[in-house]
Amino acid sequence: MRHVDFSPLYRSTVGFDRLFTMLDSLAQPDSGQTYPPYNIERTGEDAYRISMAVAGFAETDIAIEAHRNVLTVKGEKSEADGEDGVDLLYRGIASRAFERRFQLADHVEVTGAELKNGLLHIDLKRNIPEEMKPRKIAISAAKGVTSKQIETDLAK
């Protein structure tokens, strides 16, 4: 059984719709999408970078959009980009259109993108709001309470 039906859980939970949608999408196969290849790197404590191999694409051929925790990278090369008067004998560099989607965690924002040497680098940063960060609570002694001695000194 490869499909799990979460509909009974939708009726008995409130506020977990996004969680069940994410679980349902994990069960979906990636449909064998392998183009373009990419790496995901951790560049700092709260910083990440996605590097995609997009050889042959210019900045104008690529569109990056972040919306509701989904980063979408689309690439489409127009046919007018080819050189006029050149007969292509062999095409080894892929220039087909692509669309890649990445699920971003909460509070992850895209800080920039750069196309360099055929690699598209997308920088991400996790910005956790101050009220959601863990904080240390100091423990103070109660006022007016004297401590009682429980043990006696038996060494005398």
49 in the same domain as 86: yes
Q: Give burial (CB, 10 Å; 0-12/13-18/19+) of 100.
A: middle
Are both 15 and 82 inside the same structural domain? no
> Model-level pTM?
0.63
- Do 44 and 17 reside in the same domain of the chain? no
| Per-residue pLDDT, 19 | 65
Residue type, 61: D
Q: Are 24 and 6 in contact, with CB atoms under 8 Å apart?
A: yes
User: Whole-angstrom Cα distance, residue 73 to residue 52?
Assistant: 10
Report helix, strand or coil for 20.
Answer: helix
How many independent structural domains does the chain possess?
2
Which segments in the chain show pLDDT lower than 70? Answer: 1-32, 79-85, 144-150, 152-156
28 and 103, same domain (yes or no): no
At 50 the pLDDT is 93
- 41 and 69, same domain (yes or no): yes
Q: CA 108, CA 98: separation in Å to the nearest integer?
A: 23
For residue 1, the model assigns a pLDDT of 47
In a domain, 12, yes or no: yes
- For residues 56 and 91, membership in a common domain is answered with yes
